[in-house]
């Protein structure tokens, strides 16, 4: 089974909820947990090796034995020769492979395992998509008594994807964007069960994953847990040390981090969190001891402005998805012949305020910018520009010029270059989309695929986009990308079974890649738009469509599709 075919099966399996990655060469530590969990969550423990088993059977049984939450993986050690059993560590990376792997005995007598590579889980519990098509590993075995045993097991675990999905839960830990306005999710994978809250707080205290670290704030830096997280009647108590106890903005920030991290778990229901420092509840004005998400709704990672209504272009004019009405001002009347656009919403008024559009030009293309309902002026020209993109945290809009140079535009300001030290090495950038929180950017690179990079801002005002990592490298012919939420993407890419473009959803780290339906669409989609809590939009056949459940529908239900292209959501 190929990776792409495997992804179609994911919809039928109990998959993890959603989806940031870290360097492959980080130090490794244990990410398993104290088991103490009911059998219906973890299933049956793996079996000891059978008497008289062949070398290939022993290797397969050893891989099966990774599907355990018992400390030390005792059953897995039973498959090892005595010296290897004493030195092998189960505390390294977890390598996830497809379940339909092959074992072959080589001419030297070693057993070679080959499988579709899925990815690895590093020491922080972060998933890293595997860019290689195939996982290959050889095992050497010797006879111990009358039984074959492995002599050279790799540290860490090799686990089958269905076992990983059954035993591990995806849950985000949250950090703050540089402006302090939004929480930024950082996906982690930890063993499901009663110990999950304590483990997840440990992951939060350990800090953001490698690539994300430079793009977020972590007020919990230096804090430690005094004891395990306790749960009673869907209320959690977290007791920390190493933090100031006096009232300060930091206490509000760490409380928001902890509340959002602990109240989004699937297998453990937590509705409120009491944060203590050295045994005493934190004292924050107008915030109860039992804190809920409502107390920290202001940093909701999925919040979007109320006026974030879908927009698109029709005959060069800017329209909204509200019955296809043109926007106010010359852009809505088609004065600029726009082929693409983005709009920033003013924080103070909640109204669309800053418009950036792309129009044809003698040089190839021009960027025009100005007030949403006012006159636009040319600010940049080039051979071509990517679709403009905006985040909720700043009133600035980004474009890629000639496929290599990233430029950010602020209302009333001059264009400023974004430093991209390694972008040109990836290839020509076709599309760039800022995440809603502004901490990341997703990019479509021609001939290379889908990437996510981190936005890094310095005190002197300079901005860089760096630490690119490939997301879902198995996707072919990637056309466009949008942020469905702060931790997940929608992608237009090739269908592995046919020569056509279809929509996919995928976590920001590359996990849970799933093909979405195309029911209702008149033809292949050309571009896609999304925003948290909003219906995804695509253009297909020169008309605009929105996704309701599993079907794409016209903007005005029951009526003919409205003509248009280049949909987007103001933020």
- Write the pLDDT tens digit of every residue in 219-240: 999 999 999 999 999 999 999 9
Single out the residue in 131, 152, 167 at which a domain terminates: 167
pLDDT at 245: 74
Cβ neighbours around 121 below 10 Å, total = 23
* Rounded alpha-carbon distances, angstroms, from residue 56 to 64, 68, 137, 409: 12, 20, 13, 60
CA dist., res. 163 & res. 160, Å (int)? 5
Check whether residue 65 and residue 117 sit in a common domain. Answer: yes
Tell me whether residue 153 is in a domain.
yes
Check whether residue 483 and residue 563 sit in a common domain. Answer: yes
**Is it the case that residue 2 has pLDDT exceeding 90?**
no
pLDDT at 249: 87
Pair 113, 119: CB distance under 8 Å: no
3-state secondary structure of 252: helix
Tell me whether residue 305 is in a domain.
no
pLDDT-derived band at 123 (thresholds 50, 70, 90) equals confident
Pair 561, 555: CB distance under 8 Å: yes
Check whether residue 346 and residue 364 sit in a common domain. Answer: yes
Single out the residue in 105, 135, 167 at which a domain terminates: 167
Tell me whether residue 95 is in a domain.
yes
Residue 10, Cβ density class (10 Å: 0-12 exposed, 13-18 middle, ≥19 buried): middle
Plot region of 72 (φ>0 → left; ψ -120 to 50 → alpha; else → beta): left
Each residue's pLDDT tens digit, 46-91: 999 999 999 999 999 999 999 998 889 999 999 999 999 999 999 8
Check whether residue 109 and residue 83 sit in a common domain. Answer: yes
Check whether residue 389 and residue 460 sit in a common domain. Answer: yes
Maximum CA extent, the chain:
86
Question: What average pLDDT does the segment 505-523 reach?
Answer: 96
CA dist., res. 452 & res. 511, Å (int)? 13
Percent of the chain with pLDDT over 90: 82
Question: What average pLDDT does the segment 35-49 reach?
Answer: 59
pLDDT at 92: 83
* Rounded alpha-carbon distances, angstroms, from residue 413 to 372, 408, 430: 15, 10, 25
pTM for the whole thing? 0.88
**Is it the case that residue 29 has pLDDT exceeding 50?**
no
What would the two tokens of residue 180 be? 């302090």
Check whether residue 185 and residue 147 sit in a common domain. Answer: no
Check whether residue 362 and residue 471 sit in a common domain. Answer: yes
Question: What average pLDDT does the segment 110-130 reach?
Answer: 93
Pair 461, 474: CB distance under 8 Å: no
Tell me whether residue 279 is in a domain.
yes
pLDDT at 34: 36
pLDDT at 71: 84
Check whether residue 105 and residue 9 sit in a common domain. Answer: yes
Question: What average pLDDT does the segment 109-120 reach?
Answer: 95
Mean pLDDT computed over every residue of the chain = 90
pLDDT at 36: 35
Each residue's pLDDT tens digit, 490-512: 999 998 878 899 999 999 999 99
Pair 570, 390: CB distance under 8 Å: yes
Q: What total number of domains does the chain contain? A: 3
Each residue's pLDDT tens digit, 539-562: 999 999 999 989 999 999 889 999
The 3-state DSSP composition of the chain as helix, strand, coil percent (nearest 5) reads 15, 40, 50
* Rounded alpha-carbon distances, angstroms, from residue 312 to 216, 252, 493: 32, 39, 21
Tell me whether residue 76 is in a domain.
yes
**Is it the case that residue 348 has pLDDT exceeding 80?**
yes
Tell me whether residue 306 is in a domain.
no
Strand residues in 303-371 grouped as ranges (E) = 311-314, 317-320, 340-345, 352-361, 364-371
CATH number at residue 475: 2.120.10.30
Check whether residue 191 and residue 49 sit in a common domain. Answer: no
pLDDT-derived band at 457 (thresholds 50, 70, 90) equals very high
Check whether residue 557 and residue 457 sit in a common domain. Answer: yes
Check whether residue 152 and residue 202 sit in a common domain. Answer: no
- Local structure of residue 143 (DSSP, 8 states): E
Question: What average pLDDT does the segment 204-233 reach?
Answer: 95
Single out the residue in 299, 332, 349 at which a domain terminates: 299
pLDDT-derived band at 43 (thresholds 50, 70, 90) equals low
Note down the domain range covering 212: 170-299
List of residues 6+ apart from 340 with CB closer than 8 A:
313, 357, 358, 385, 387, 388, 566
* Rounded alpha-carbon distances, angstroms, from residue 343 to 6, 213, 340, 398, 560: 38, 28, 11, 11, 27
Tell me whether residue 304 is in a domain.
no
CA dist., res. 508 & res. 188, Å (int)? 11
**Is it the case that residue 374 has pLDDT exceeding 50?**
yes
Check whether residue 278 and residue 217 sit in a common domain. Answer: yes
pLDDT at 366: 98
* Rounded alpha-carbon distances, angstroms, from residue 464 to 180, 203, 397: 19, 26, 14
Alpha helix ranges (H) inside 423-488: 423-426
pLDDT at 132: 67
CA dist., res. 205 & res. 193, Å (int)? 20
pLDDT-derived band at 18 (thresholds 50, 70, 90) equals very low
């Amino acid at each position: 089974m190929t990776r792409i075919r495997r992804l179609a099966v994911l919809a039928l399996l109990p998959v993890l909820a959603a989806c940031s990655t870290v360097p492959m060469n980080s130090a490794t530590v244990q990410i398993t947990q104290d088991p103490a969990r009911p059998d219906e969550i973890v299933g049956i423990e793996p079996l000891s090796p059978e008497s008289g088993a062949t070398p290939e059977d022993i290797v397969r049984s050893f891989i099966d034995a990774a599907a355990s939450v018992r400390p030390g993986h005792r059953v897995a050690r039973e498959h090892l020769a005595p010296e290897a059993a004493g030195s092998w560590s189960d505390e390294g990376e977890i390598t996830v492979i497809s379940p339909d792997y092959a074992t072959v005995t080589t001419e030297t007598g070693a057993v070679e395992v080959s499988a579709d590579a899925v990815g690895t889980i590093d020491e922080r519990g972060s998933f890293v998509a595997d860019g290689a098509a195939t996982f290959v590993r050889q095992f050497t075995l010797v006879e111990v008594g009358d039984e074959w045993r492995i002599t050279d097991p790799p540290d860490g675990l090799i686990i089958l994807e269905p076992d990983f999905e059954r035993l591990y839960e995806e849950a985000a830990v949250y950090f703050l964007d540089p402006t302090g306005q939004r929480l930024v999710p950082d996906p982690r994978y930890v063993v499901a069960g009663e110990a999950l809250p304590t483990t997840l707080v440990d992951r939060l205290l350990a800090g953001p994953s490698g690539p994300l670290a430079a793009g977020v704030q972590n007020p919990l830096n230096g804090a430690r847990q005094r004891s395990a997280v306790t749960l009673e009647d869907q209320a959690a108590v977290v007791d920390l040390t190493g933090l100031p106890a006096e009232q300060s903005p930091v206490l509000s920030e760490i409380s928001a981090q902890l509340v959002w991290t602990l109240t989004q778990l699937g297998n453990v229901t937590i509705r409120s969190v009491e944060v203590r420092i050295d045994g005493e509840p934190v004292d924050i004005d107008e915030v109860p001891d039992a804190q809920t998400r409502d107390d920290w709704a202001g940093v909701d990672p999925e919040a979007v402005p109320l006026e974030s209504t879908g927009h698109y272009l029709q005959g060069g004019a800017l329209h909204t998805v509200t019955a296809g009405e043109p926007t106010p001002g010359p852009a809505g009347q088609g004065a600029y012949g726009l082929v693409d656009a983005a709009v920033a919403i003013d924080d103070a008024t909640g109204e669309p305020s800053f418009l950036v559009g792309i129009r044809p030009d003698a040089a190839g293309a021009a960027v025009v910018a100005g007030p949403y309902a006012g006159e636009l002026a040319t600010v940049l020209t080039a051979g071509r520009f990517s679709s403009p993109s905006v985040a909720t945290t700043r009133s600035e809009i980004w474009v890629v010029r000639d496929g290599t140079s990233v430029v950010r535009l602020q209302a009333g300001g001059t264009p400023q270059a974004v430093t991209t030290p390694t972008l040109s090495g990836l290839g020509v950038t076709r599309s760039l989309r800022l995440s809603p929180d502004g901490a990341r950017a997703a990019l479509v690179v021609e001939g290379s695929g889908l990437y996510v990079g981190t936005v890094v801002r310095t005190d002197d005002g300079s901005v860089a986009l760096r630490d690119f990592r490939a997301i879902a490298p198995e996707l072919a012919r990637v056309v466009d990308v949008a942020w469905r939420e702060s931790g997940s993407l929608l992608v237009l890419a090739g269908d592995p079974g046919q020569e056509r473009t279809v929509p996919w959803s995928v976590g920001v780290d590359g996990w849970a890649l799933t093909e979405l339906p195309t029911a209702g669409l008149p033809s292949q989609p050309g571009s896609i738009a999304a925003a948290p809590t909003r219906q995804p939009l695509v253009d297909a056949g020169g008309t605009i469509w929105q996704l309701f459940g599993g079907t794409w529908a016209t903007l005005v239900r029951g009526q003919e599709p409205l003509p248009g292209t280049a949909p987007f959501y103001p933020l």
